[in-house]
């Protein structure tokens, strides 16, 4: 009987010990699995980021317009953002009709190569708050870098005048290839715009990014909408703007209408400049809030939009800037519109009268003399010295018929600046 008990009880003991060892090993296996998975995901994420960077750097439009240009000191960076009023792609081809319909911008045959948006973004090397300076497109300044042209005109015209002159010269040499004419004409336009801004503000330009009309549309769509805030409801058939008052999220088509509207606004083009700032503020907030920089799917969508519409200077380390932009998107950008002294007329067109020296001094004060050219450099501003940073447009200018702001209860934009 005792032998039988030993036979029946002895085999059961190892089973209990084995089960205990299995239970003890299971957490270890789970931990090893988690660590291995984490390592694999880290490698995959790094590989994805590198692939996306190489894809972006290899596909985005590149320009030599800044080749040999003066650079900022002390690690500071000045980036010129240029928004073109062009209804054509990078090769000069007409945009598809369905795209033009969504843009509400008319035919590809209208509109030229004016830089309707000019913003200098200053990023300090010490990690301080970035500053963005909007240059109103009708500022009457000395245009630079245009062969055969001397004198003043609206700053927005530098690009188109230089492009047209370069194409004329190439055609005189027998060049007939439309793509070559477009490519080299645009390069001349970029150089002239950059040189004009550099001379006007008295600071170096380290990098630039050029965006066409369709770019606003694709950027907003890539972000799944951009939040903005309006002080009052607006409606304008020319731009297609039709928005209620208050905070709202705009899709691509609405975003373009928002940044293009100027008719019916109290200060016309100057209020449109505020709209552009508000759009960029909303876009940077959206970049940060939805985790675009950490979500490969969203990042790919944004990169695809950049490939279609953006041109940057050759040699710009875009991966480093993407990391920098992640910090900028946390609301660490201060927007300013450069002052206008008054309004005038030049060859039948409305212009903004500006004081060149006053603007150079303001830029030097804002971003420090270490990156600024001498604010007392030669140059006749040709402007009234009377201080008037936000004058009222004349009655015959865009928006001049509605000269007074509508007063009302302040609207909370939830971190987004509310504009007219």
Dist CA 374 CA 363 (whole Å): 11
Please name the CATH architecture into which domain 75-419 falls.
3-Layer(aba) Sandwich (3.40)
Give the SS3 label for residue 134: strand
Structure tokens at 378: 């030669």
Residuewise pLDDT in 10s, the chain (420 residues): 544 555 444 555 555 555 555 555 565 665 555 554 444 443 434 444 444 545 555 557 789 999 989 999 888 999 999 988 876 776 777 766 766 666 665 544 555 789 988 999 998 888 788 899 999 999 999 999 999 999 999 999 999 999 999 999 999 999 999 999 999 999 999 999 999 999 999 999 999 999 887 777 788 888 888 999 999 999 888 888 899 999 999 988 888 888 888 787 777 778 888 888 888 888 887 877 666 666 777 777 777 777 777 889 988 877 677 666 666 655 568 889 999 999 999 999 999 999 999 999 999 999 865 444 444 443 333 333 333 345 555 544 544 433 333 334 445 555 677 888
DSSP string covering 78-123: EEEEEEE--SB-TTSPBPPHHHHHHHT---TTS--S-EEEEEEEEE
C-alpha closest to that of 80 among 146, 165, 180, 159: 159
Dist CA 208 CA 190 (whole Å): 9
What ranges do the domains of the chain cover? 2-46, 75-419
Q: How many CB atoms lie within 10 A of CB 297?
A: 8
Dist CA 139 CA 160 (whole Å): 16
210 within 8 A of 190, measured Cβ to Cβ: yes
């Amino acid at each position: 009987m005792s032998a039988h008990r030993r036979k029946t009880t002895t085999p059961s003991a190892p089973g209990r010990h084995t089960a205990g060892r299995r239970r003890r090993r299971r957490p270890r296996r789970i931990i090893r699995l988690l660590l291995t998975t984490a390592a694999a995901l880290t490698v995959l994420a790094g590989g994805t980021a590198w692939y996306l960077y190489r894809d972006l750097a290899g596909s985005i439009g590149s320009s030599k317009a800044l080749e040999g240009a003066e650079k900022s000191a002390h690690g500071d960076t000045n980036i010129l953002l240029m928004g073109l009023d062009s209804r054509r792609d990078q090769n000069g081809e007409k945009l598809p009709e369905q795209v033009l319909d969504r843009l509400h911008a008319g035919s590809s045959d209208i509109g030229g190569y004016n830089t309707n948006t000019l913003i200098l973004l200053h990023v300090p090397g010490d990690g301080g708050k970035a500053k963005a300076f909007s240059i109103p497109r009708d500022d009457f300044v000395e245009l630079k870098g245009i062969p055969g042209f001397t004198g003043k005109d609206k700053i927005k015209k530098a690009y188109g005048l230089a492009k047209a002159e370069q194409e004329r010269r190439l055609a005189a040499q027998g060049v007939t290839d439309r793509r070559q004419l477009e490519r080299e004409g645009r390069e001349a336009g970029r150089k002239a715009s950059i040189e004009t801004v550099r001379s006007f503000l008295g600071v170096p330009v380290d990098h630039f990014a050029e965006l066409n009309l369709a770019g606003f549309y694709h950027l907003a769509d890539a972000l799944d909408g951009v939040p903005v805030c309006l002080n009052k409801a607006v409606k304008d058939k020319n731009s297609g703007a039709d928005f209620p008052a208050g905070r709202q999220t705009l899709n691509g088509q609405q975003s373009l209408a928002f940044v293009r509207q100027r008719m019916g606004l109290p200060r016309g083009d100057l209020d449109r400049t505020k709209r552009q700032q508000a759009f960029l503020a909303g876009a940077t907030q959206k970049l940060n809030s939805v985790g675009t920089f950490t979500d490969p799917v969203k990042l790919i969508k944004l990169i695809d939009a950049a490939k279609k519409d953006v041109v940057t200077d050759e040699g710009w380390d875009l991966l480093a800037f993407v990391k920098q932009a992640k910090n900028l998107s946390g609301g660490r950008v201060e927007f300013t519109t450069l002052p206008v002294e008054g309004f005038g007329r030049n060859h039948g067109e409305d212009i903004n009268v500006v004081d060149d020296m006053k603007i150079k001094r303001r830029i030097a004060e804002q971003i420090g003399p270490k990156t600024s050219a001498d604010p007392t450099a030669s140059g006749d501003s040709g402007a009234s010295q009377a201080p008037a940073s936000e004058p009222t447009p004349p009655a015959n200018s865009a928006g001049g018929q509605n000269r007074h702001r509508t007063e009302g209860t302040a609207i909370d934009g939830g971190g987004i600046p509310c504009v007219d």
